[in-house]
Amino acid sequence: MNAVHLPRCKGCGYPKPGTGEFARDLKVLAVGEPEKTPTVRTGFIPTKKAKRLLKSPEERLNKLERRFLERLKGQPHDWLGIQAVTLYLAFDCRYTPDFGIRLGDWQAFYEVKGPHQWEDGMIKLKMAATAFPFWNFYLCKEDKQTGEWTEELVRR
């Protein structure tokens, strides 16, 4: 049986739909001629592994979040979680804060944002502050010139 080159997406490794060979790619070729093999729809196995999922939480952070993590590690805390908590806000709507910190009975979540912010991220942060009023939610930004951090308490 000859190997067939499949046109694949560079990002995920799945066969590209819309190509002329996509329907033929759905056939599972057994030993024998392709004409005698029935057409079966199967799931595709990506050629590239999801490298982001294999990394530790600290390795998944961007540069800005890593700088803020170093700042948090210098502060006293009982527990420090890196994207460890996912909050259920509504049907099919979840929010994962960048950092969670606990010191005694006090618990807070930090969201680190750069100069460009997505609107849905800000809306989810405000929804989380409203839905969970017993926790503090902070929006953290770094000033590029001075390197100082500002922590803004998100109001309910």
If one counts the domains in the chain, the total is: 2
Does the pLDDT of residue 148 top 80, yes or no?
Answer: yes
According to the model, what pLDDT value does residue 59 have?
A: 83
Q: Are residues 105 and 40 in the same domain?
A: no
Q: Are residues 99 and 143 in the same domain?
A: yes
Q: What is the CATH number of the domain that holds 97?
A: 3.40.1350
Distance (Å, rounded) from C-alpha 46 to C-alpha 12? 6
**Joined tokens for residue 54:** 């294999």
Q: Are residues 41 and 74 in the same domain?
A: no
CB 12 within 8 A of CB 48: yes
What dihedral do alpha carbons 63, 64, 66, 69 form, nearest 10°?
180
Q: 101-136 pLDDT, tens per residue?
A: 999 999 999 999 988 888 888 999 999 999 999 999
Q: Are residues 42 and 57 in the same domain?
A: no
Distance (Å, rounded) from C-alpha 74 to C-alpha 62? 19
CB 109 within 8 A of CB 154: no
End-to-end CA gap in the chain: 64
Q: Are residues 59 and 78 in the same domain?
A: yes
Q: 14-62 pLDDT, tens per residue?
A: 555 555 444 454 444 444 445 555 555 555 555 566 665 667 778 889 9
The whole model's pTM is what? Answer: 0.65
Task: For residue 27, give its domain range.
Answer: 1-48
CA 156 distance to own-chain centroid = 25
